[in-house]
Structure 1
Amino acid sequence: MWTTMKMNRRNVLVGIGTAAVGSGAALGSGALTSVSASRDLNITTVDDNNGANVGLVADSPLVGTTTGNNGQTILQIDLNSLNDDATTTLSPAFTITNNLGEAVGVRIQGAPADVTIESNNNGHNLKSWPASGDDHSLTSGGSVSVDLIIDTSSVSDSDNTITIEASTAQSA
């Protein structure tokens, strides 16, 4: 014996709702529960065994230090500890000291576009060799404090390495 059910608005809505719940339970919601990525920024020196030419000192609690294979200091910033989709200023982030017996110019290379590197004293861009009067032209024993401005809305999810170069020929 067959019974027929009248087709009305309530029965149609109950049928659609039951189908939606059933398919959601069978197939899952597809919702993302978590994402994890390593985003580090490493700062090191070029051709500087044991920090003989340039000394690096972390000045911010967000900057850690480790020792590289040549004995040089490597500064590390875990970008995961910074706010997402924000601009964070570490002022000062670290200090560069000239350990040579003569004047040097320093510059910082390899910084991603979303990381601004400048002098803490006067905002000079440290991505190029110093011009006359710039405070990253260091006398023997001289130092410069460095600010990092990091825009995490566009920073890549991979490790980045920034290199500090010192040259006696580039001293202004």
Structure 2
Amino acid sequence: MANRRKFLAGIGALATGSAAAVGTGAFTSVTADRSVNVEVAGDSSALLALQDGGGPNSNDYVDTSGNTVSFDFTGTDNSGSGLNTDATTVINDLLTVVNQGTQPVDFHLTFSGNISNGTQYFTFSTDEQGGRTGLNGSGNSISIPAGQSITLDLEVNAPDFTTSGGGTITFHANA
């Protein structure tokens, strides 16, 4: 009987040790190579499309001829040479933002360079959703449903904007 107990105890210890060595099948990390297909597109045909606003203001101030949209407020064809100092200038229907993706996105803009200087001189806004909505900063995001668009207006409030130069506008779309 004692040998039988030793045998059963030995089998039990072997089974317990084997289970501990094998574990539960969980893992800590995996490294695997997979193929990815990515295609880039210009601003006008990307998933978040940036297109001119379709009116005379966008014709004067928005350039969509390259792969990226650019703005130029240094002059017009009628001999104007820039925005007024110590004034508020509003330019409607500058740019259309189209969500060509498959899900809604929260959209906002940020600015850097001479167009910001610690004071927000430039304010893009839209009146597409029942009232004017400023889009500067992540706290001012607007939802753009898949397949929908918004048209952006620009307000330049420049009571002390006396420098010339440029900057960068960053468009943010988060699903």
**TM bucket by the smaller chain?**
0.5 to 0.7
Which of 124, 140, 146 is the aligned partner of 1:117?
124
The 1-side partners of 2:159 and 2:135 are apart by 22
Amino acid at match of 1:167: N
Aligned residues: 115
Spell out structure 1 runs of 4+ moving beyond 3 A. Answer: 128-131
Work out the percentage of aligned pairs sharing the same amino acid: 22
Higher relative contact order, chain-length normalized (CA < 8 Å, sep 6+): 1
In the alignment, structure 2 segments of 5+ residues that lack a partner are 1-39, 75-80
Amino acid at match of 2:135: L
Deviation at 1:64, TM superposition (A): 2.2
Which of 146, 158, 166 is the aligned partner of 1:159?
166
- 1:3-82 alignment, distance < 5 Å: 49-51=41-43, 52-59=46-53, 60=57, 61-66=59-64, 71=67, 73-79=68-74, 80-82=81-83
Establish whether residue 101 from structure 1 lines up as the match of residue 99 from structure 2.
Answer: no
Secondary structure of the structure 2 residue equivalent to 1:154: coil
| 1:20 alignment counterpart | none
The 2-side partners of 1:151 and 1:130 are apart by 20
Q: How large is the Cα RMSD of the aligned pairs?
A: 2.5
The 1-side partners of 2:122 and 2:154 are apart by 7
State the TM-score, normalizing by the size of structure 1. 0.57
2:99–2:148 CA contact under 8 A, matched in 1: yes
Greater Rg, structure 1 or structure 2?
Answer: 2
